[in-house]
Structure 1
Amino acid sequence: MKKHTINLWLSVVVLVIVSFTSCVKDVNKGTIVDGLQPTVSILEGGLVNFSQLALSYPSTDPSDTFYFHANYAATNVAPKDITVTLAYDAAALASYNATSSVKYTKCPDSIYSFKATTVTIKAGQSYSSLIPMVFFPSKIDPTQNYMLPISITDAQGNNISGNFGTIYFHFIGNPIAGAYNEEWIRFNNAAGSGSPSYDRFYSNVFSANNPTEVSVQSGGNGLVFIIDFTNNGGVLSNFTATIDPASYGNAGLGSLISGPTIVADPINKIYTINFSYTNTSGAGRNVTEIFKK
């Protein structure tokens, strides 16, 4: 996540540099206006970055930290030290819920720590130092939708961005998300006959992509499975499993022969995936993945 945060920040920095080379971008109207008052924003914020702020940490982690920045957008760098004040924004949460089919509740105080309520953009700089937001994954209920919008509340007289003044930290709840025990069984033939060549056990996590989809990376071969289902008032059905093609190289998967199929038992929280394939050397393989809560 830290690497992801830095990559997101760098991409926004490039955009900011391009946008403000000769004038200031009015982020509220989307137009370029010469002489506009300097604007302070959160580089990683805004609804445009919402999907990238769906946090998914291993539930066994005692704590994880997400870093973000405050940005001074103008034709020049900050002429003096600028203190930026940040706080939880209940109005931003209510506004999001009013227009979204997925509803969120505020993150319980027990699952996060945010102590850097002020940060300084130093004179001669255009962005602040790293701002830490600490989460406690082991205390998070993965079945609940949580959000923690953090907004700039004061920028010492400078404009506060209308589009990038808030960063939307959130956790997507999903009824099958959370920690699982994984059994990985592989046969060195496509039929799955005889004794397995491997039968190994791992700890794993179903990470929510949305309320009816999770992804999980096999501990045995690195393939990423995407599990979709229907939730009809708490009754789960129509389970399907696919393999993310981008992860084929992790297992040396050349092409699928059959599957993946999934047998789902949401009552007992057991999910069994089976598939067969040829590897990049042309040899057949048959794999069964059993995930149990």
Structure 2
Amino acid sequence: MRFHTYMTVLAGTVMMLSSCVKDPDYLKRSDSKDNVVIYLKQGTAQSVDLQLFPFVDEARSFTLNAGFGAIGYPGGDVAIKLDVDTRAFDSINLMRTNAGLTPYEAFPADAYSFTDRVLTIAGGSLTSNLAEFKYFSKKFDPAKDYLLPISIMDASGYKVNPRAKTAFIIASKLAGKPANTDGWVATASSEQTQWENTGLASALFDGNINTYWHSSWWPSEPAFPHWVQVDMQQEYYVDQIGLVRRQGSSTGFTKFNLEASVDGNSWTMLLQDRAFDNTNNAQQTFPLTPAPWRHFRLTMTEGRMTSTHLAEFVVYKY
């Protein structure tokens, strides 16, 4: 009986003491706007970079949301208005111009959809709902850089973090990278497989500038034009090629044509009567209108000697 009475008193004491302990500040809800900042979560990163390639008909999307920065929670709902920030766009382009850079293009009006421009941080929450941003990759010119700044324009009277108020959405021009050449098949009008390193057409895609393809000069020496052809085994979206001469030799070709094909039967002329500097050891690049191709044919039309050679043929793809 005494034990039961003791436990009852102890429990009551604990409850009384517990009721006297205040909630810590970080659990409190308040409508005070002091020491509170609102921020756009995507504004904390340097930029939001859109994926354009591969180009598709349907829309791609990502989401935007806002945060409540304070010790504690908002007492009531916080309405946050977002909009395209033309002042931020002009400011960024002014800085780019002053730095000698090309200004960004504005997003084409039909290239995106952003209808839900009001976010709500509910009372007792630190994060808003999500706003969906949709964009259509085929509406962008792959040779241009685009910028769309979206900023917090109003936050129900709360302060907005100036360093995290804007999401800088960027659609960058596409820039190809050297393709992986595993499995590629190379052919040529002729090869010199003896006394050369290696003389084979396959040397054009081995990644080694010290090996090279050489047209035949023994026992026969065909005259110009000479050609090499590659089957990449699949289509790649290509925006330029690179050519590397046989190192230390200026006896190679000086003019060439470049054709491309999807099926290996029907060919399109991409570069015609183009000059090649056979005194330059560095890779020489030749931009192309971006397009999907599987086959390339390089036809060399003029040179210093009857035969010719080339160390590397580099394809840049997305």
- Could you say which TM-score interval applies, normalised by the shorter chain? 0.5 to 0.7
Task: Spell out the pairing of 1:1-293 with structure 2 (5 A cutoff).
Answer: 36-46=34-44, 49-50=45-46, 52-61=47-56, 62-100=58-96, 101-173=101-173, 185-186=183-184, 193=200, 199-204=232-237, 264-266=285-287, 290=315
Letter in 2 for 1:265: F
Once the two structures are TM-superposed, the CA of residue 166 in structure 1 deviates from its matched residue by: 0.8
Once the two structures are TM-superposed, the CA of residue 106 in structure 1 deviates from its matched residue by: 1.6
Letter in 2 for 1:65: S
CA distance in 2, matches of 1:140, 1:60: 9
Once the two structures are TM-superposed, the CA of residue 95 in structure 1 deviates from its matched residue by: 1.2
- Provide the aligned C-alpha RMSD in A: 4.3
CA distance in 1, matches of 2:167, 2:126: 18
**Retained in 1: the 8 A contact 2:107–2:148?**
yes
Once the two structures are TM-superposed, the CA of residue 161 in structure 1 deviates from its matched residue by: 1.7
Give the structure with the higher percent strand.
Answer: 1
Question: Aligned in 2, Cα 1:168/1:268: closer, same or farther, shift over 3 Å?
Answer: closer
How many residue pairs get matched? 190
Once the two structures are TM-superposed, the CA of residue 59 in structure 1 deviates from its matched residue by: 4.1
TM-score (normalizing by structure 1): 0.53
Letter in 1 for 2:76: K
**Retained in 2: the 8 A contact 1:71–1:127?**
yes
Once the two structures are TM-superposed, the CA of residue 39 in structure 1 deviates from its matched residue by: 1.1
Offset from partner CA, 1:190-232 (integer Å, 9 cap, x none): 9695889x851134476xxxxxxxxxxxxxxxxxxxxxxxxxx
Q: Which runs of 5+ in 2 are unaligned?
A: 1-24, 28-32, 186-196, 206-230, 240-275, 297-311
CA distance in 1, matches of 2:317, 2:68: 49
Once the two structures are TM-superposed, the CA of residue 147 in structure 1 deviates from its matched residue by: 0.9
Q: Which runs of 5+ in 1 are unaligned?
A: 1-19, 23-34, 207-236, 239-260, 273-286
TM-score (normalizing by structure 2): 0.49
Offset from partner CA, 1:80-136 (integer Å, 9 cap, x none): 111111100100111111222341132111111101110111121111122211110
Aligned to 1:280: none
Which structure has the greater CA radius of gyration?
2
Question: Aligned in 2, Cα 1:292/1:194: closer, same or farther, shift over 3 Å?
Answer: closer
Task: Report SS of the residue matched to 2:42.
Answer: coil
Share of identical aligned residues, percent? Answer: 21
